[in-house]
Structure 1
Amino acid sequence: MKMRRYLLGTGLMMMIGLGGACSHESKYEAARKTGQQVGEAVATKVQFADQFAMLDKKEVALGKLALKKSSNSQVRAFAHQLIENHEQHLASLDSYADASALRLAQIDLSTEPGVGGSGGPGSIGVKEAAKKQSAQYDEKLDKQIENFKGQLRDLSAKSGSEFDKDFLAQIEKDQKTGTELTEKGLKEYSDDASLALLLGRNAPIFERQLEQAKALSASI
């Protein structure tokens, strides 16, 4: 994928406090160390947001597949709700990323994954640290995308109650993942009011969808 999605905005650069060139070598090294720490922190937060975006797009793709394959009215109604909820969550995530000067991965689950560019001014050590940390993660994300495409292909080959049960089993698993990501985010990014608000607002949705999937699965 070889993407990079870090936009270091004016506010962030002021926070870092890395202005012009440093005349003294020790100051330069201190600035580089600070920049590396900030770059790593930004990379970690982007990767966290990417995992949420990936989950949302997975659920939308699964919901659309269920509308094509399932003849169960309850499963189809659940699929509609699933699509609506996760499209709304993804839109909220995109808005948060824009406001925070973070560019999320361009994830396409139906075709070859797209790539995102990079932009915005950098500073001493920030870009280097972000790029270094992102390289391995991008490979991981590529594998996640390809694995999920394989899951979609396998699921699309099924029909009837077999499809419905496997579809709901995957949804249960994904909603648990959503809950785990939410708990992790609330713990690690409690100082980010906007992200904490987004996570707290959507936490009940994952719990509700998990219970709905379980109930539907038991009725089939």
Structure 2
Amino acid sequence: MGNKNWKTRAVAAAVMTGLLGFAAHAEDTMSKQQKEEMKQGKAVGEAASKRVKYVGSLALFNNRQIELARLAEEQASDPRVKEFATKLRTDHESNNQTLRTWAENQKMTISALSDGSTSDTGVGGSGVQEGFDKGMDQTGEKLGKSIDETNREIAKLREKQGPEFDKAFLSRIAEDQKKGNEMLKKGRGEYKNDATFLAILSQTEGVVSGHEKEAKELEKQMKK
């Protein structure tokens, strides 16, 4: 009888040990799964921050051209330069409006399209917000430096008068449009699988290429 009870207890103990081992394994598996979800979430967040920063850079580029164009509308001495400046301003305002509409549809906040503070948006999810916040680190500082650089360029350009201003303005715009094209080309490669966004970038690239060409042509004419 005692031997039978011993065997029963032994079997019960073995079963319990097995159950505990299974539970521990299940807990370990869940922990790995959670870690993987966190890792994937961070990657999603970082990708989202990269997109926000890229769109913010495009908006800053547009804002810079708008400010330079406004100055030329006031200060250019050649009517052709004034006319070009107006076209430049309206085209880049239109570019920003297109970006603004797209960003709103994406539930994305791009501060360079509004008040000039740090670009930001809440993305939520396991690890997603952490990845996003990490990607956005120091963005505000970089944005501030970019705005300061534009202000310095405008102040420097404002000191020039007459044909000297016209030539300096056209040279500045041609160089800016070239850099803008490089940024757009990079974006087309990065976001080639997003048909809607790719269409926006392609359309903008066409406009910017036209501006670069026109600025260079006018600059040549100024030198004659």
**Which of 171, 174, 199 does residue 172 from structure 1 map onto?**
174
From 72, 81, 93, the counterpart of 1:75? 81
Distance in 2 (CA, whole Å) between partners of 1:50 and 1:67 is 25
Structure 1 unaligned regions, length at least 5: 1-22
CA distance, structure 2, for counterparts of residue 156 and residue 78 of structure 1 = 17
Instruction: Give yes or no for the alignment of 1:152 onto 2:158.
Output: no
Whole-Å separation in 2 of the counterparts to 1:185 and 1:157: 35
Matched length: 194
* 1:32 corresponds to: 38
Distance 2:121 2:168 in 1: 42
Output one character per residue of 1:43-89: Cα deviation in whole Å (capped at 9) or x when no partner. 11111111110111111101100011112100000001001110111
What's the offset of the Cα at 1:203?
1.7
Tell me the residue number matched to 1:200. Answer: 202
How far 1:121 sits from its partner (Å)? 5.6
Aligned letter for 2:133? K
- The RMSD of aligned alpha carbons is 1.8
* 1:144-189 deviations in Å (ceiling 9; x for gaps): 1111111111111111111111111110011111211111111110
Preserved CA contact (<8 Å) 2:68 2:154: yes
Counterpart selection for 2:72 from 66, 73, 78: 66
CA distance in 1, matches of 2:74, 2:103: 32
The letter of the residue matching 1:24 is M
Mapped pair 1:142 → 2:148: no
- Residue matched to 1:91: 97
Larger gyration radius, structure 1 or structure 2: 2
Letter in 1 for 2:98: S
Look up the equivalent residue of 1:35 and give its one-letter code: G
Out of 194-203 and 32-41, give the one that drifted further: 194-203
Match of 1:102 in 2: 108
The whole-number CA distance in structure 2 between the counterparts of 1:131 and 1:45 is: 13
Task: Quickly say closer, same or farther: Cα 1:117–1:150, change in 2 above 3 A.
Answer: closer
More helix by share: 2
Identity of matched residues, %: 30
Q: 1:84 is matched by which residue type in structure 2?
A: T
- Report the AA paired with residue 173 of structure 2: I
Larger mean Cα displacement after TM superposition, 114-123 or 160-169: 114-123
Q: Which moved more, 1:39-48 or 1:96-105?
A: 96-105
